[in-house]
Chain A
Amino acid sequence: MIGRRQGERREDTNNALGWRFVQAGRLGPGRLAQDCVRLLDSAAVASALLEPVAAGQTRFRMHGLSPDGRGIAIGRELLVLFPTLDWLVSFLGAYSDEASLDELIPTMTLEHVRREGGGHAIVMRCAAADGYGVDRLQRVSAATRGQLYTGVGSVFLRWRHREAPFGYDLAAPMSAKPEEVLVVDVDVAAAYATVDRMDPVELIQRLQLRPVPLPLRGISSDPEQCGVQDLALALVAPGLAARTLAYLWRLEIPMAGHYVELEGDQRPSLLLRLRNPSRRALDVLSSTPGVELLAPVSARAAVEVGYKHPIQLASASACFPGEEMFLFRGSVGRVERLDTAPRFIDGRHLVKNTGGSRLRDIGQLRDAELDPLRIHLKLRPSSHPREPRGTLIGWDQVDLLRHLVYLIPPSALAASRLVPLEEGVVVLTGSSVGARSAAAGAGLGAGAIVPLGRRLGSVAPGVLVMDGYELWPRVRPTLMRQLLGLGAEDHALFLSATSDPIRVRPDQLLPLDAALIGRMALGEAVVREPVDAAIAPGEIDNQKLSRFALWGFGGLSGVSAAPALTDGSDDGPGPGPGQ
């Protein structure tokens, strides 16, 4: 708007001057007036090279500009001017973090240019997308000291900003010299001549890796951060290939390998692909000289663990044309470029088999031959202390148990079970078999608290043995329950060394509190009806008065049989007032 106002003011001034010259009569509207106009125009150009585009403007002085959907003037190409190459790399890194470089790289050109008045710069040119994409480029480039211009061919205009929300248009047609690019800002125009051209793909491939800190406790402490959680690549030096393969084979790590010939090496190196590598293997491989761990960042690029590429390679697949694979090695500062994608071979084909024996499948198991091996599960004395899980109380001590019930905590009382047997009463802590409460699961039942009888310890879930004994041989608890043939919630009690064990089914376990505490009979409440009903309001009953009106009313019904009053009136007797 300012530029337009300035232009209008200039034209008015020119007209006024020309009219004045003509009116004076001393000068005609000829050459002298045109010179004056030209002079004024040349003086005004320096301050207004561009003029803002108005809302809805569709025609522009500069060829190649066109409005997008929002009315912003966009050229077919974009030009970003960076002061140095470092800022260009920063721009590419920042942009790849946010968007995909694949959209830019196919049309991107990088040039080292020299300014007409002196100075150098790096110019990035690419095709323009819609206004939103250009705005994003503007935001990222501004953060990396870049200046964004839009245009076509050799003339580029400044991109829109706050004072010109719809962009700029040339105030006057301008053109650049051949092999030059003219960059026009609001008040200055600069011409740049190309000195050198760079291939963006090659630039990205040649960038130096940046070291990143590894976890203090090694890669194994946080493989996900290092990018080797699910898949890792290992570049093994030729002399270490066989030993590394043997080591990984012993660890049963799924792996595949491919021998690659690196430039400058006599023998091929081994590139291993490890799926779900164990943490121990990662530690060993990362600390072994000659073995480099690489984290795959895309299908055809891998970066050594401990380093990072300045650009997000995952968003720049266009940088890796063809079927080549790139291994970015930070420790040696090289990028290994494999001609084709590695064709990995399964690890079992790479290891060397040194054994001579062969495995043979068993055709049929011979059960009969196992009988001589079978032994009996015996009860033998033991000094191994066990947690008491129950107690066997003789019938002569039941009275004492009855008194002790008052002292047992409620949770322990609720968790305890009781089994009445011939030998006595077995009080069980709610065992881990079918434990329905925290107290029972923790073994805090009455069986562990009552200081009576003989204690029973648990050798397996639900298998209780007298204190001072154990089952021999010591087999696995689950196997022991299988050997004893116990059901899901059955208990086995070994009450003496001479007698057979007892199987207790769940329905035979009585709750201790319910079994010991006698039932309290509640007396039925007897409600006594009050002798006299409550005083209630009376209810009016208008009884039938079935007398003919003209015959009068002969007195109180049931009170007097004969008419009591006769006053001689035609409507019958009536009461006399004041009677």
Chain B
Amino acid sequence: MSPPLAAFIESFVLPLLGGGTVAVRGPIRPADRDEMAEDPGELGSPALRFLRLRRAQQLAPNPDLPDPDLEELTLWIGLHNTLVFDHPERDRVWARSTTWRRFEGATRTLLTLPSTTDASEGLARHVSVGAFVQLLRRDTVVTTAAGEARYMGQPVPRRRLFFAAPPQTGQREEVVEWLNTPHAAETDRLVEDVMRTSPLTCLLVPRQAPPGWSPLQASDFLQSRGIARSIVYAWARDPDWVGVGAAVTTALLPSVPLPRGESPDAGAAPSAAADASEANPPGRVGGMLALPGVIVPTSPEALSAVVGALIHLHFLKVVELDARLGAITSARDPGTLAFLALPLILPMIAGATGTPLPGLEGAGMGRAAGGVRTGPSPAGAASPGASGSGTVARRWAEYLDHLGELVPRRTVDNLLAALVPRIVQTQ
């Protein structure tokens, strides 16, 4: 019999990272983890390191990954156990729900990892969690006289095929994304814990991020040029790129409340949090609107990185000629409006973030946040090397004009009051 760790890596970890059949067996207890940890030599196997490297190279060309350690093994076991809760034969393991609750607690303990200290550690977390998020499942649907029976990631017993309808219609296979399928209640709770272990994955899949997550937790990655480009390109690949940007912006807004003294009730300039409260009106008048969100201490560099990445997403779509906003003109979601308003405050934060068209500030920054042109746009005369970018600069200016007509003035004012001072640090 192969050693326990080697068998686990062979049957679960390697297929998880490199593709293949990810075997989900029975629950793995913390005691099993300890047993595996007695001989951690398999963690340094070349196949495992190679697959981790290849996974990481999808984001960064030369990743500096730490070696696999027990913490990562704990994460893998937690991922495995999370999948066990969705096992269709789960009832065969333990019949008492109390046992399952204890097992859920044990799994949550496995998934409770310390926060990442540097980008390489966060990248290593994402290698596993990112693969977990992309897991597929091949379901077999058997049509019988009594209806359809779905075998989730399992072969169909022969006795069921005997009663099935004619073969051409009696059985079909469907490949589904595991994360988007209905889960057990425990699985739904544990997936949030899984996502919390990897801020980078949350940043890449912001709509799957747990509540309370802030993109500022992953701002280290956005300050790295290579990974930031990969992140923004991953956002841009999503057909609903506005939704992705809106999810990131929505997570960012609680971290940048209005400065003290400018309450939402002041009327003139309600904060971004006030925008968020409009979507969920308070139940009673005069009471506390909602509990304050998790406010992550921010630095101007971290904010600049997040805002710059979001603005760069706009710019990428303008370059791709894919910046069609016609379908979202009626969007009233505060996050969506704030995301669309971000390019309009670029002239105010250009000193800290730079511009997507360096040397073409006049062209790219043609319209200020207040809707007033800051100056002429000499696209061709801005710099000798900018003649090829003249068309892009013109499209960018037109896009800004379009956004200026689309986004309400109040949203831009909120961003000017809540976001710009934290980036520019005028005071």
Binding site for B on A (CB under 8 A): 532-550, 552-553, 555-561, 564-565, 569, 571-572, 574-579
Contact = CB atoms under 8 A, between A and B. Distances in A.
A118 B292 CA distance: 121
B166 to A, nearest CB: 27
A90 to B, nearest CB: 74
Given A545-B87, A558-B1, 9 more contacts: A534-B19, A536-B18, A539-B175, A547-B93, A556-B26, A557-B25, A564-B31, A575-B30, A576-B106
A532 B90 CA distance: 36
Contacts of B28: 556, 559
19 contacts: A536-B20, A538-B21, A539-B138, A542-B89, A542-B152, A542-B153, A542-B154, A544-B154, A545-B90, A547-B92, A547-B93, A553-B26, A553-B27, A556-B8, A560-B4, A571-B99, A574-B99, A575-B30, A575-B106
A543 B29 contact: no
Contact of A545 (B16, B26, B83, B178): B26
A533 B154 CA distance: 25
Contact of B134 (A532, A537, A543, A575): A537
Nearest to B30: A579
Contacts of A535: 17-19, 51, 54-55, 58
Contacts of B4: 556, 558-560
A575 B136 contact: no
A538 B102 contact: no
B29 A540 contact: no
B295 to A, nearest CB: 30
Cβ-closest 5 pairs across A and B: A536-B19, A559-B4, A579-B30, A575-B29, A537-B134
A555 B11 CA distance: 16
Contact of A541 (B24, B131, B175): B24
Interface residues of B, number: 59
Contacts of A544: 89, 154
Given A558-B1, A564-B29, A553 B19 contact: no
Given A538-B131, A556-B26, A574 B94 contact: yes
A545 B24 CA distance: 10
Contacts of B91: 549
B370 interface: no
A574 B26 contact: no
B135 interface: yes
Most chain B beta-carbon neighbours within 10 Å: one of A547, A549, A561, A577:
A577
Given A569-B99, A578-B105, A558 B92 contact: no
Interface in B123-149: 131, 134-138
Contacts of B8: 556, 559
Given A542-B24, A545-B26, A577-B109, A550 B135 contact: no
B2 interface: yes
A577 B25 contact: no
A532 B54 contact: yes
Contacts of B7: 558-559
Nearest to A539: B136
Given A535-B54, A539-B20, A565 B136 contact: no
A268 B414 CA distance: 122
Nearest to B154: A542
Nearest to B26: A553
B174 interface: no
A558 B89 CA distance: 18
Contact of B83 (A536, A540, A564, A577): A540
B67 interface: no
Given A537-B134, A544-B89, A546-B92, A575 B35 contact: no
Most chain A beta-carbon neighbours within 10 Å: one of B1, B93, B138:
B93
Contacts of B16: 538
A539 to B, nearest CB: 5
A574 B107 CA distance: 13
A448 B96 CA distance: 102
B32 interface: yes
Contact of A537 (B1, B26, B36, B131): B131
B23 interface: yes
B15 A550 contact: no
